[in-house]
Amino acid sequence: MAQLTICSHLPGTFYRKPSPDSPMFVEEGQYVEAGTVIALLEVMKMYSEVVTEVSGRLVRFEVAAESSVEPGDVLAILETE
């Protein structure tokens, strides 16, 4: 078991769902495959996907939805086997 952090590379706004009426990309505690989109970052009206590089259990998000993030901020913790 190892814990990995997923960090932001950009400053911007953090979103956990693709649109206000959509369900969350993933819930805390959920198992995700490598390559899963777990959130969006909006920077100057452009959206970048936050994607997991490895498979594992998404333990928790470290920032609240729709909050501002800076480069290097930890967005989420992933537990791998």
Partner 1 sequence: MQKPIKKLLIANRGEIAVRIIRAARELDIRTVVVCSEADIDSQAVRLADEHALIGPAQAAKSYLDKDKVLAVAKEVGADAIHPGYGFLSENASFAEACEQSGIVFVGPSASAIRTMGDKAAARTAAMAAGVPVVPGSDGEVGSLEGAIEAAGVIGYPVMIKAAAGGGGRGIRIAKDEAELCQQYPIAVAEATSAFGNGAVYLERFIASARHIEVQVLGDGTSVIHLFERDCSIQRRRQKIFEEAGSPVLDEATRKALCASAVKLAEAVAYRGAGTLEYLFDSESGEFFFIEMNTRIQVEHPITEMITGVDLLKAMLRIAAGESLPYSQQDITRRGHAIEVRINAEDPEKQFMPCPGLVGDIVWPQGPGVRIDSLLRAYYQIPAYYDSLLAKLIVWDESRPAALARLKRSLGELSIAGVKTTQPLFLALLETDAVKSGEYDTNWLERWMSGKREEQKPAESTAGSAI
d(CA 81, CA 69) in angstroms, rounded, equals 28
Residue 8 CB, nearest distance to partner 1 (Å)? 8
d(CA 32, CA 47) in angstroms, rounded, equals 21
Nearer to partner 1, 28 or 49 (CB): 49
Interacting residues toward partner 1 by CB under 8 A: 8-13, 41-46, 48-51, 66, 68
Nearer to partner 1, 13 or 55 (CB): 13
CB-CB contact of 52 with 38 (8 Å): yes
Q: Given the structure tokens 């959130």, which residue do they identify?
A: 39
Nearer to partner 1, 8 or 36 (CB): 8
